[in-house]
Amino acid sequence: LQAQLRRTERVAELGTVASGMAHEIGTPMNVILGRAEYLMERTKEEPVRKGLQTIISQVERITRVMNQLLAFARRRPVEHRALDLHQIVEDNLEIFQERLSHSHITVETSFAEACPLVRADADQMSQVLINLVMNAIHAMPGGGVLKVALAPATDRGMVMLVIGDTGHGMPKDVIAKIFDPFFTTKEFGKGTGLGLTVVRGIIEEHGGTIQVESEPGVGTVFTICLPIQVDPGQKS
63 belongs to the binding site for ligand ADP (CB under 6 A): no
Tell me the C-alpha distance between 137 and 189, whole Å.
17
# binding residues, ligand ADP (CB under 6 A):
23
DSSP 106-165: EEEEEE-TTPPPEEE-HHHHHHHHHHHHHHHHHH-TT-EEEEEEEEEEGGGTEEEEEEEE
Determine the length of the chain.
Answer: 236
User: Scanning residues 193 to 212, which ones bind ligand ADP (CB under 6 A)?
Assistant: 193-197
Helices (H), 43-84: 46-73
State the nearest-atom distance from the C-beta of 140 to ligand ADP, in Å.
8
Q: Considering the rule CB under 6 A, would residue 229 count as an interface residue with ligand ADP? A: no
Closest to 200 (Cα-Cα) out of 220, 223, 221: 223
Q: Which residue minimizes CB distance to ligand ADP?
A: 195
Are the C-beta atoms of 224 and 161 separated by less than 8 Å? yes
Say whether residue 116 binds ligand ADP (CB under 6 A).
Answer: no
Q: Of the candidates 89, 136, 210, 228, which one interacts with ligand ADP according to CB under 6 A?
A: 136
Choose which of 167, 201, 208, 227 interacts with ligand ADP (CB under 6 A): 167
Binding residues for ligand ADP, rule: CB under 6 A, are: 131, 135-136, 139, 165, 167-170, 174, 178, 183-186, 191-197, 220
